[in-house]
Amino acid sequence: MRLRPIILALVFAGVFYYLTTHRPGAFTRAGWVGRPGKVEITEAAGPEGPGDSEEQNNISVYRRNIPAVVNITSRVVAFDFFYGPVPQEGQGSGFIIDKEGHILTNYHVVADARQLQVTLRNRKQYRAQIVGTDPAHDLAVIQISAPNLVSAVLGDSKGLQVGQKGYAIGNPFGLSGTMTRGIVSSIRSVREPNGTNIDEAIQTDAAINPGNSGGPLLNYRGDVIGINTIIASAVGQSAGIGFAIPINTAKAVLNDLVTLGRVRRPSLGIRSLPIGPELAQEMGLPANTGVLILQVVPGGAADRAGLKGGTERAYLGNTPIMLGGDLIVAVDGKPVEDPQDLSDVMNNHRAGEHVQVTIYRGKRRMNVELTLGEAQGQA
């Protein structure tokens, strides 16, 4: 009797084992893989090609411009704790602007470089020389000697509208020939980490990362509208906020950079004082803001145009100043409220160009035509 439960348990176990191991299809073993004689899949009708018109335009912009975009490797020498030389490499982008091998890029890409190497789309490498630099606008032109170069088409950045398409091509993180797409997110003035101010910078959400600096920002036709320069990011990578220097800013100085190696900075030839509402009221000036001419540089642009400096000696705190000079309130119709406004206007002009300066002489408002001089250290 005592053995009966044990015998019944063994019988049930045997029956269960038989059913689970000998009856086909009763149970499916874990990990079982079927191996049919032929795999049946669904294939597309033909090779994948360009889709809608938008895709076709993306491809067209890329193919048109990729031969002109280059990878720039700069080699600089830093010094360790013991003042030993430590070679370092940096990477950026640029784009060819003519058949002579001139390449436009950012100044910070080539600054302090002991050696520059340019890699083209066909992977050929060339030594490059710096032709001209414009640190104030973070621009530089370098040059290589190579055959059969393809140059980019420089567009017009004036009148860009928020919402227009933007394509960025460059070498982010050293990944050459990368294109990203976005829109023009805003047009605003921004300041680079080194203090350089970019007037009317093009903000875009096209992904820009380290290595994109100096590469082109393109419109839907594939024309260059900007030079990708900086990103706003807490982690040093794309956060959808990148900025490009307007191509018109670069075009305004290209001739100087290529022919002179520098930019002929314009100058009014004045020593000035910023005027705010309190000073304007205290001095009895007819406008609340502007730039008061304290002194004109003899033979300078302002002096030649007949602008007047101060004649009455006074003190602003412990600083001696001259009152009674002309008060500049606009240049070419653009309001001038402080020296920064005046500097911004000057950055859009070159030495030798003509401008119209709006002044108050006493209570009288008047316009004066002036030919800008070249800066020689004066204001």
Express each pLDDT in 24-80 by its tens digit.
554 455 555 667 778 888 877 766 666 788 999 999 999 999 999 999 999 876 555
Comparing 83 with 120, which gets the higher pLDDT? 120
Q: What is the mean pLDDT of residues 290-312?
A: 94
Q: How much of the chain is in helix, strand and coil states, percent to nearest 5?
A: 20, 35, 40
Give pLDDT tens digits for 141-174.
999 999 999 999 999 998 899 999 999 999 999 8
- Choose the weakest-confidence range: 96-100, 280-284, 312-316, 345-349: 345-349
Active-site amino acid positions: 108, 138, 213
Backbone dihedral angles phi then psi of residue 259, each to the nearest 5 degrees = -90, -30
Backbone dihedral angles phi then psi of residue 13, each to the nearest 5 degrees = -65, -40
Q: Which CATH architecture has domain 266-374?
A: Roll (2.30)
**Secondary structure (DSSP) of 223-285:** -EEEEEEEE--SSSS--S-EEEEEHHHHHHHHHHHHHTSS---EE--EEEEEE-HHHHHHHT-
Q: What percent of the chain has pLDDT over 90?
A: 60
Q: What is the mean pLDDT of residues 275-300?
A: 93
User: What is residue 379's predicted lDDT score, i.e. its pLDDT?
Assistant: 38
Backbone dihedral angles phi then psi of residue 344, each to the nearest 5 degrees = -65, -40
Q: What is the mean pLDDT of residues 347-360?
A: 89
User: What is residue 2's predicted lDDT score, i.e. its pLDDT?
Assistant: 63
Quote the tokens at residue 352: 């030798």
Name the segment(s) of the chain with CATH classification 2.40.10.10. Answer: 64-143, 165-252
SS3 assignment, position 269 = coil
**Cα–Cα dist 240/143, whole Å:** 32
CA distances from 98 to 104, 151, 177, 200 (A): 10, 5, 20, 26
Name the segment(s) of the chain with CATH classification 2.30.42.10. Answer: 266-374
User: What is residue 50's predicted lDDT score, i.e. its pLDDT?
Assistant: 66
Stated as kind and residue range, the H or E segment containing 319 is strand 319-323
Comparing 287 with 83, which gets the higher pLDDT? 287
Quote the tokens at residue 215: 């590469």
Compute CA 377 distance to the chain's CA centroid, rounded to the nearest angstrom. Answer: 28
Burial of 119 (0-12, 13-18, 19+ CB in 10 A): middle
Q: Does domain 165-252 have CATH number 2.40.10.10?
A: yes
Quote the tokens at residue 218: 């393109």
In this prediction the pTM is: 0.71
Give pLDDT tens digits for 360-374.
999 999 999 999 998
The secondary structure of residue 257, as a DSSP letter, is H
pLDDT at residue 378 tops 50:
no
Contact assessment for residue 202 and residue 195, using Cβ atoms and an 8 Å cutoff: no
**Cα–Cα dist 342/197, whole Å:** 13
Within a 10 A sphere around the Cβ of 170, how many other Cβ atoms?
A: 30
The secondary structure of residue 137, as a DSSP letter, is G
Q: List the alpha helices (DSSP H) in 35-160.
A: 53-65, 107-110
Cβ-count burial 285-297 (b if 16+ within 10 Å, e if not) = bebebbbbbbbbb
* CATH code for residues 64-143: 2.40.10.10
Dihedral of CA atoms 104, 106, 107, 111 in degrees, nearest 10, equals -100
